[in-house]
Structures are given as structure tokens and as C-alpha cells.
Amino acid sequence: MSGSHPLGVRPIVNAKGPATRLSGPPICAEVAAAMAAVAGSCFDIVELQAAAGAVIVEATGAEAGLVTSGAAAGLLLATAACVARGDPAAMARLPEIGGLKDEVVVARSQRNQYDHAVRTVGVRLVEAGLPDRVAGAGVRDTEAWEIAAAISPRTAAVLWVAGPGACPPLAATVQVAHAAGLPVIVDAAAQLPPRANLRAFTAAGADLVAFSGGKAIGGPQASGILCGRRELVASAALQMLDMDYLEGTFPSTAGPIDPNTLNGLPPHGIGRPCKVGREQIVGLATALQLYRAGDDAMERAIWLERLTEIAATIGERAGLSLRIDDAGAIPRLVIAVDASRAQIDARALYDRLRGSEPRIETDPAQLWAGRLVLDPTCLIDGDAERIGKGLEAALGG
Ligand SMILES: *Cc1c(COP(=O)(O)O)cnc(C)c1O
């Protein structure tokens, strides 16, 4: 909370987690220093990407890696890569997709707001399966044969959105996609921790995996990772990078792009608006190295400590029940508000915290059920105390 506030905008206490609308996670001093260290000089961006790509390869076990401007950008670039492959003419044409493979198959239950990034390329999402678990009418989700049945000669890729209980499982999805000669794109944006997931999706056969840099990794908010098969990552890079090169002048580096294997260089591609700067490239690579050196259990212990401290400051209060939900990859403090006894309801408590000074953001996902959820991953030193005070004030003393 200390330091100057550029533009006069005051920082908030973020107990929501690394949401984009709240500017992602705080970045640590080492990452900030690495970004500042490159900010004052110019570099060849292809060389920077190749160097960061080597860090990504080491962390993920994939053949190649690219720093993107986020996981959503990674999904756009991955889709463009699966459609255009190594064809510069196809790259030049997108999103005009007529004549190219223009469908991506996805389990209906995995549709989400971020698949707009996939559709940006001009493809149509073909939904497979009929999940009927929410209705309580059945037990089924999408099965692998339904993915197989949705594949057609127009299919460019299969999209798999990672999450607890994603159906069909990745291995089965990979099996039917690969049997049809198709790549699998994995949206793994928020699947860290555990750190083992950096490698898990690639190990399970995914051809391209997108992670957010501005979530658990603690990289710059507008950064991400796309990793996977070399020729697909090369296609993604060609469609994102500045392509304004005279013939024969594209830098030959150790990166995924081998200019000698191309018919020619495409012009600026569909991914050009997803550009990343030197600060994001170096910041992401530094954060990734630090993240790998960290430890899931130690990180979790710190999170639990902060949540326990917040819970302790509120203590026993009529109508409030506090519980640390320790089941998922990230523990959370769940504050259930019984409006009839607490003289406030969950929505009003949420609003009061947002209106406090400093502003406190919590996760509203369970407000409908009368619960406030606090995520510890973006809290900084002193925030647990700030939240305790804020809650006390909001609850009236
Ligand atoms: C956060 C998220 C994204 C977008 O990630 P950015 O790095 O913000 O672009 C995509 N998919 C899922 C499932 C996410 O949770």
C-alpha cells in the first residue's frame, strides 16, 4: 500500500484473486526489477522470444514456447496456428477463412467466455455432447465418442478446457483427435498450482497449451505462455510477431521459426494485435523461473496463514459462519452470512467492503448463496489486517 500512486489511482486490497479487472496478481520485486532492467534499452524481439521460449521449454517439457499477451491471446494464436499451419498465404488471409478448415470441436460443457478468442480466428465452435448434470436429470457429460463424431473434414482442432472434472478426460480427447490427425488445444489458463500442471497437459499429449502469466505464475498481468509442438508454435509466432522484414533479413535464432523452411514470410497476421513487449517477455520468463523454484506446499502454508489471520480478526459473530475451504488447489475463506441474524446480507457486506478505504475486493461467485469468498493468492503483507479491519467496520464495530 505504500509508495506513490501514478495517475492518483489508489491501490485496492485484492481478495478476489488474479482477475484481469483487478489488474492481475502483484508482481514481486525481482520480476519488477527484470522488467525495469530491459525497459531502457532496445532488443531484437525475436531474440528475446527465443530466449524466453527456452525457459518455457525447460519448464513445460514442450518442444517450443512463446510468450503471449495472456492465455486468451494464446488461444487465438493456437487456433490460428491450427488453421493456417505453415502456409503463409493462409496466415495472410485470416480471419477470412473460406476454403480453410473452419471448425473447432469442443465439449458443450467446456464452452466459456474465453472461447471468443478461438472464434476470433473465424472458426465455428462445434459443440459435442449434452451435459445434463446441472438439471439434475442425468449423470452424463460429453464422452470421447461424441468428440469423435463431431469431427469432420472441416475440423482444424479440438479444444479442451482444463478444469476439475473436465469431460471427456484429456487423454481420451487426445486419443480421438490424434486418431483423426488433429491437434488438441488446451486452455490451461488458471490451472496452476499445482506446479506439476506446467508439464502435465503436454505430457498427456496436448499439442498446444495456453497458460496465463498474470495468474499464479506471478508474471506481468498482460502475459501468458503458449507451448507445444514446434511447427504449431512457429505458426503462432509468425502470426503474432512484427513481420516487416525485407526478404532474407528475418533473424535466424534458436526460436521455433526456421525461416528457411517457409515458402515466404507472411505479412502482419491475425495475432499482431496481441503483441508483447520486451518487459512482458522478460517479466514472464523471470516469473516462470521463480515460480518453478517455489514449492506448492510452502505457498499453500502462507495462504492458509493469511486466511486464518483474517478469520481470527472477525471471531465469533451472530449470523456469520467462517470456514476455510481447503479442498481445491487454492484454499479459500468462505464467509456465510445468515441475513436474518447478522443484520446484513452477503450482497450488502460485499458492497460495503468495496466501498471501504482501502477498497476490499472479494469473490462474488457465491453471493447468490449468501456467501463471500476470499482468495489469498493476491494478498500482500498487511492485507490480512486490512481485511480484518474492513470486515469489522462493515459489520458495524
Ligand atoms: C483467465 C482465463 C483465461 C484468460 O487468461 P488471460 O491470461 O487473462 O488472457 C482463459 N481461460 C480461462 C479458463 C481462464 O480462467
For the Cβ of 190 lying below 6 angstroms from any atom of ligand 1, the answer is yes
CA of 393 to the centre of ligand 1 (A): 34
CA of 114 to the centre of ligand 1 (A): 7
For the Cβ of 114 lying below 6 angstroms from any atom of ligand 1, the answer is yes
What is the per-residue pLDDT for 2?
47
Please tell me the pTM assigned to this model: 0.97
CA of 118 to the centre of ligand 1 (A): 12
Phi, psi angle pair for 330, to nearest 5° = -120, 125
Closest residue by Cα to atom 12, ligand 1, is: 189
* 72 CA: nearest ligand 1 atom: 9
What is the per-residue pLDDT for 135?
79
What is the per-residue pLDDT for 3?
59
**CA gap 226, 329 in Å, rounded:** 22
* 20 CA: nearest ligand 1 atom: 8
pLDDT in tens, 238-265: 999 999 999 889 998 778 998 888 888 9
Q: HSE on the CB side for 355, CA within 13 Å? A: 9
Query: Which regions of the chain are under pLDDT 50?
Result: 1-2
**CA gap 321, 72 in Å, rounded:** 37
**CA gap 292, 84 in Å, rounded:** 33
CA of 359 to the centre of ligand 1 (A): 24
Which of 69, 109, 111, 114 for a ligand 1 pocket mutation test, highest count of atoms within 8 Å of Cβ? Answer: 114
Which of 187, 363, 377 for a ligand 1 pocket mutation test, highest count of atoms within 8 Å of Cβ? Answer: 187
DSSP 336: E
What is the per-residue pLDDT for 1?
46
DSSP secondary structure string, 145-188? HHHHHH--TTEEEEEEE--TT-SS-HHHHHHHHHHTT--EEEE-
For the Cβ of 336 lying below 6 angstroms from any atom of ligand 1, the answer is no
CA of 362 to the centre of ligand 1 (A): 19
CA of 212 to the centre of ligand 1 (A): 6
For the Cβ of 70 lying below 6 angstroms from any atom of ligand 1, the answer is yes
What is the per-residue pLDDT for 363?
98
For the Cβ of 243 lying below 6 angstroms from any atom of ligand 1, the answer is no
CA of 71 to the centre of ligand 1 (A): 5
For the Cβ of 187 lying below 6 angstroms from any atom of ligand 1, the answer is yes
Phi, psi angle pair for 203, to nearest 5° = -60, -30
Closest residue by Cα to atom 5, ligand 1, is: 71
What is the per-residue pLDDT for 315?
81
For the Cβ of 72 lying below 6 angstroms from any atom of ligand 1, the answer is yes
Closest residue by Cα to atom 13, ligand 1, is: 189
For the Cβ of 25 lying below 6 angstroms from any atom of ligand 1, the answer is no
**CA gap 337, 40 in Å, rounded:** 51
For the Cβ of 212 lying below 6 angstroms from any atom of ligand 1, the answer is yes
CA of 165 to the centre of ligand 1 (A): 18
DSSP secondary structure string, 199-263? HHHHHTT-SEEEEESSSTT---TT-EEEEE-HHHHHHHHHHHS-----TT-S---SSS--GGGSS
For the Cβ of 20 lying below 6 angstroms from any atom of ligand 1, the answer is yes
pLDDT in tens, 328-386: 999 999 999 999 999 899 999 999 999 999 999 999 999 999 999 999 999 999 999 99
CA of 299 to the centre of ligand 1 (A): 22
Pairing mode, if any, of strands 124-128 and 208-212? unpaired
CA of 188 to the centre of ligand 1 (A): 8
For the Cβ of 214 lying below 6 angstroms from any atom of ligand 1, the answer is yes
**CA gap 72, 116 in Å, rounded:** 9
